[in-house]
Structure 1
């Protein structure tokens, strides 16, 4: 009787370890793909705005339409943490609003709330293409063994309002704080 209980306990422990490790692997894959995007300058928008094209990656098999909110979040994330590189004369490269790479992890509670569904991020972005994608802005790419659809959308980001939000939240220092 005690042997049966011990065997059952060992089996349950073994099965739960397998299930937990599978879940952990899926979570890490999602986190690796969470901020997987390319960002390029499109041109000059209105005063205090960046006009960027964000290329987001979608799993080809699971895609049931474009996730416009993901494109908006990717554009904001790029402006906050990566900056904008320019390859044309029409645009000027812009540094990231946050230069310290550790801030995203240190202030994770703020950024999780900021980027959550229906979060504050919506106040700072507009989709300028209305969701329309030109044929040149859609391509298949392979990352590792998986196929993804890379889709580019033009997004307008109100960088002045975004900077004020990050300053008010204590994430970045005010421009005149060093003087």
Structure 2
């Protein structure tokens, strides 16, 4: 009886350890700690969004704001907020694609930073709001080229062409 209990406990421990180390949701969530909202109407083929990135300092690099803006357009979308905006769904409707195509997105948001060609900072001075003793949220207005982004995702096979259903 004790042998079976010991084997069962070892099996449960090894499975839980594997799950914990295989995907760390806290680390992944911390990587994408931002809010996205509509900031007005952008030019044709673009979204104008305000990105609020959470930080321990009152500043963040411009690249971080651009990265979060592109990620938000891809995977979160944003709601209308009364500034003449309409809500937008994310370009990638199935969030599991981020994990299924992890190699592509790790490269896309990685060191070579291909995402930078889709985003432009529209506000030169960020808005800084103190959230707590040790946390700030830093807001930038970013223009994201949704048409170019969608076209490149279609070429890469990440999303289907809009005309594919007809």
TM over 0.5, shorter chain? yes
RMSD of Structure 2 on Structure 1 (CA):
1.8
Partner of 1:171: 158
**Per-residue Cα deviation, 1:40-98 (whole angstroms, up to 9, x for no partner):** 101111100000000001123xx6x4221111111111100011111115001011111
In the TM superposition, residue 120 of structure 1 has moved relative to its aligned partner by 1.1
8 A Cα contact 2:40 2:83, kept in partner? no
Q: Among residues 43, 47, 55, which one is paired with 2:40 in the alignment?
A: 43
Q: Among residues 55, 60, 67, which one is paired with 1:58 in the alignment?
A: 55
In the TM superposition, residue 31 of structure 1 has moved relative to its aligned partner by 2.5
Aligned residues: 144
In the TM superposition, residue 32 of structure 1 has moved relative to its aligned partner by 2.3
Secondary structure at the aligned position of 2:40 is classed as: strand
Q: Distance in 2 between matches of 1:139 and 1:96?
A: 26
8 A Cα contact 2:66 2:120, kept in partner? yes
Q: Distance in 2 between matches of 1:89 and 1:157?
A: 17
Partner of 1:5: none
In the TM superposition, residue 30 of structure 1 has moved relative to its aligned partner by 4.0
Q: Distance in 2 between matches of 1:110 and 1:102?
A: 13
TM-score (norm 1): 0.75
Structure 1 100/29 Cα, relative in aligned 2: closer, same or farther at 3 Å? closer
Q: Deviating runs (4+, > 6 A) in structure 1?
A: none
Partner of 2:148: 161
Q: Which runs of 5+ in 1 are unaligned?
A: 1-23
Q: Among residues 116, 122, 126, which one is paired with 2:120 in the alignment?
A: 126
Partner of 2:97: 103
**Structure with greater helix share of residues:** 1
